[in-house]
Chain A
Amino acid sequence: MTFFTVVARGLMRRPVRTGLTIVGIAIGIAAVVALVGISRGFETSWQTGMKSRGTDVVVSNMGRGLTPKPFSAKALEHIAPLPHVAEICALLVDVISVENADMMIVSARQWGGFCWKNLKIVSGRLPKDGAERAVVLGKTAAEVLGKKVGDTLQLETEELPVVGIVEGGAVVEDGSVILSLPLLQEITGDQGKINVIDLRATPGTSKEELTRLCEQINGLVPEARAVVAGEHIRDSQAYRMIRAMSWSTSLLAVVVGVLGVMNTMLMTIFERTQEICVLLAIGWKRSRIARMVLWESALLGFLGGVGGVLIGVVGVKLIVTSPAIRGLLEPDLNPQLLMISVAIAVGVGVFSGIYPAWRSSRFMPSHALHY
């Protein structure tokens, strides 16, 4: 019988209790995977959206909401002549309830700007010009709204024909209702207002030059903030709050996991006092006893971690297909997050096993006679 057989047998002695402990850890780790995956996915989705549009710098004012605050379109006049600015495209983006959909990204874009160029037509066409009173739908948005080319879409007070279905190369693009900027400004009463400027730098612009360009823009347009694409979402207080909540909930789940494993391991060693004392009597060192307990708790954590990752991944996949958030984000379930989650579970196991291991290592061989 090897050392690890003893470890495995220790856990198999009470399979139901071991199973329930693993399930407890798995649920905690699933919460970590789901919450962190979704909050990071929110950031990644917007970053991918920026990348697909070929945006290098974003000028916006991320306040407390999920969408930036509007500011005057006159800002464009200050930014366009700056060095290293190749193209700019003004947008008015909102996340609102459209028809039966709870939340939908409505993205109005300056006609002729580069933000239209990444859109690949799946069916129909793009608007003929900036004045055409029509919308195109990202393919996910079309599915969520149940629309095809030729249907109409009620957007605020206007009923607009759907002239095309497009693919934008990113979840947020595919989940958007897209129309020309003046049209949305008119139907929302936001004439002269935009809330995002996408900026494409001249080829060969270095990262330092981009940073300097952002500083220049920040000096010229105080009502918004220029940041390198992808970083703007981190400025959002709403995003920071989501991230803080996901990590704090995860921490709570981990604490519950620690207590669960510690409870199981303490019960295990008290039930196996006789066995542990016999092992000491036949020459096992105290450190080996402690190691055995730590291995058992680490194994519990590992199994719970793997189970939790599986539950978390499946859960997140189900969540993002729900009608409420479909097309708004893609979860960021990268291998690094999954490995960190398993490592956290193993860490929980080892940490929870420290006290039971210390207790078991203090047993005296003579205690075996008491049982």
Chain B
Amino acid sequence: MKSPRLLSIAVALTFLLPSRAADSPSPTTANDLASRLSALRQDGSSYVRLRMEINGATKETLQVQIKERRTKSSSEVVYQVLFPKERKGESVLLRKLGNHAATGSLFAPPDTVRPIDDLKAPLLGSDLSYEDAIDNFFAWDQQSIVGAEEVEGVNCQILESKPGKDEHSTYGSVRSWIDVHRLVPLRIEKYDTSRKLLRRIDTTRIVAEGGRHIPSDLKVTGARPDSSTLLDGSRISHNVTYTDHDFTIEGLKQLTPPRKSAD
């Protein structure tokens, strides 16, 4: 019975031998990695069209447009619901200046405007919170690499971010599994101060746009029992022209398309 044994060895080798050695992430320091990720996030003005599928007690699909204006010292974000009809025009404005706590306002047509008191509250009923939409934990003071792990076949560095004394966050720490070649987080886990997992965000699709990689589809879980939100981003554009008016309460009341810069 030599031949069957040889055959089984050949078959086993076919499946076990990797086609090429797995890529190992380039070595980098935590602060360097975090500052590169932060710079990508605080990169000026951008526009995203988002399909938000909220799978909770009931299933709801929202079409949303996101306008963002981010610099190193400030962030302004507007979320506006385009569909369904009964929620059309519902908008959220979030602002964060330096290390100050984020502030925000809600607009519900025809003319209800109210401030956002609790940044932990759900953003448009999804599994994301307002804080998730505005905060940039890659800019926090304390960054450390706490390990490496493979996510969906990609070797990732696990970056742990903790807010400094002067930084305001409802989270105690955030762990991100970073694909250091494409500089995108493939998984993010957010914990409270007692290390209880509050929210997990998985990247399910990455698109290449303008020479960089951007997570376009995400799945958010853990915020509420038996609930998840799928985020499907499209029409992602950078260097979009906005006016200050776009990031005011009056601007929130108007559903206007982006004005893209001429290439």
How many whole Å from B57's CB to the nearest CB in chain A?
Answer: 19
Cα of A360 to Cα of B49 in the assembled complex, Å? 65
Sample of 17 A–B contacts (CB below 8 Å): A96-B234, A96-B235, A97-B232, A99-B63, A99-B84, A154-B82, A154-B83, A156-B65, A156-B82, A157-B65, A157-B256, A159-B85, A186-B257, A188-B235, A189-B47, A189-B240, A359-B3
Query: Any chain A CB within 8 A of the CB of B258?
Result: yes
How many whole Å from B186's CB to the nearest CB in chain A?
Answer: 19
Query: Any chain B CB within 8 A of the CB of A259?
Result: yes
Across-interface contacts of A64 in B (CB, < 8 A):
207-208
Across-interface contacts of B257 in A (CB, < 8 A):
156-157, 186-189
User: Which of B3, B7, B63, B88 is the one whose CB lies under 8 Å from A97?
Assistant: B63
Cα of A8 to Cα of B234 in the assembled complex, Å? 57
Query: Any chain B CB within 8 A of the CB of A190?
Result: yes
Cα of A190 to Cα of B235 in the assembled complex, Å? 11
Given A96-B235, A190-B260, A355-B7; A157-B49 close (CB under 8 Å): no
- B82 near A192 (CB under 8 angstroms)? no
How many whole Å from B101's CB to the nearest CB in chain A?
Answer: 31
Given A96-B235, A99-B83, A100-B61; A189-B262 close (CB under 8 Å): no
| Residues from 259 to 292 in A contacting B, C-beta threshold 8 Å | 259, 266
Cα of A180 to Cα of B257 in the assembled complex, Å? 17
Q: Which residue of A lies closest to B88 (CB)?
A: A154
Across-interface contacts of A188 in B (CB, < 8 A):
235, 257-258
Cα of A96 to Cα of B258 in the assembled complex, Å? 16
Cα of A159 to Cα of B4 in the assembled complex, Å? 69
User: Which of A192, A355, A359 is the one whose CB lies under 8 Å from B262?
Assistant: A192
How many whole Å from B182's CB to the nearest CB in chain A?
Answer: 13
- A189 near B259 (CB under 8 angstroms)? yes
Cα of A156 to Cα of B11 in the assembled complex, Å? 54
Q: Which of A154, A156, A159 has the most chain B CB atoms inside 10 A of its CB?
A: A156
**14 additional A-B residue pairs with CB within 8 Å, beyond A157-B256, A259-B11, A266-B4:** A64-B208, A97-B51, A97-B63, A99-B83, A100-B61, A102-B51, A156-B49, A156-B65, A157-B257, A188-B258, A189-B240, A189-B259, A189-B260, A355-B3
Across-interface contacts of A187 in B (CB, < 8 A):
257
Chain B residues proximal to chain A, CB less than 8 Å: 3-4, 7, 11, 47, 49, 51, 61, 63, 65, 82-85, 88, 207-208, 232, 234-235, 237, 240, 255-260, 262
- A157 near B234 (CB under 8 angstroms)? no
Across-interface contacts of A359 in B (CB, < 8 A):
3
Chain A residues proximal to chain B, CB less than 8 Å: 64-65, 94, 96-100, 102, 154, 156-157, 159, 186-190, 192, 259, 266, 355, 359
How many whole Å from B47's CB to the nearest CB in chain A?
Answer: 8
Cα of A54 to Cα of B3 in the assembled complex, Å? 61
If over half of A's interface residues share one DSSP class (helix, strand or loop), that class is named, otherwise mixed; here it is mixed
How many whole Å from B191's CB to the nearest CB in chain A?
Answer: 32
Cα of A186 to Cα of B234 in the assembled complex, Å? 17
Cα of A94 to Cα of B83 in the assembled complex, Å? 18
Cα of A157 to Cα of B47 in the assembled complex, Å? 13
Across-interface contacts of A266 in B (CB, < 8 A):
4
- A157 near B82 (CB under 8 angstroms)? yes
Cα of A79 to Cα of B65 in the assembled complex, Å? 36
Cα of A64 to Cα of B211 in the assembled complex, Å? 12
Cα of A189 to Cα of B235 in the assembled complex, Å? 11
How many whole Å from B46's CB to the nearest CB in chain A?
Answer: 12
Across-interface contacts of A156 in B (CB, < 8 A):
49, 65, 82, 257
Q: Which residue of B lies closest to A72 (CB)?
A: B263
Cα of A355 to Cα of B7 in the assembled complex, Å? 10
Give 8 closest A-B pairs by Cβ, nearest first: A157-B255, A189-B258, A97-B51, A154-B83, A189-B257, A189-B260, A157-B257, A189-B259
Q: Which residue of B lies closest to A70 (CB)?
A: B263
Given A96-B235, A186-B257, A187-B257; A154-B11 close (CB under 8 Å): no
Across-interface contacts of A99 in B (CB, < 8 A):
63, 83-84
Q: Which residue of B lies closest to A186 (CB)?
A: B257
Cα of A34 to Cα of B208 in the assembled complex, Å? 28
Cα of A355 to Cα of B257 in the assembled complex, Å? 66
How many whole Å from A161's CB to the nearest CB in chain B?
Answer: 14
Cα of A178 to Cα of B180 in the assembled complex, Å? 42
Across-interface contacts of B240 in A (CB, < 8 A):
189
Across-interface contacts of B234 in A (CB, < 8 A):
96-97
- A96 near B49 (CB under 8 angstroms)? yes
Cα of A190 to Cα of B255 in the assembled complex, Å? 16
Q: Which residue of B lies closest to A255 (CB)?
A: B14
Cα of A159 to Cα of B256 in the assembled complex, Å? 12
Across-interface contacts of A259 in B (CB, < 8 A):
11
Cα of A156 to Cα of B7 in the assembled complex, Å? 59
Across-interface contacts of A102 in B (CB, < 8 A):
51, 232
Across-interface contacts of B207 in A (CB, < 8 A):
64-65
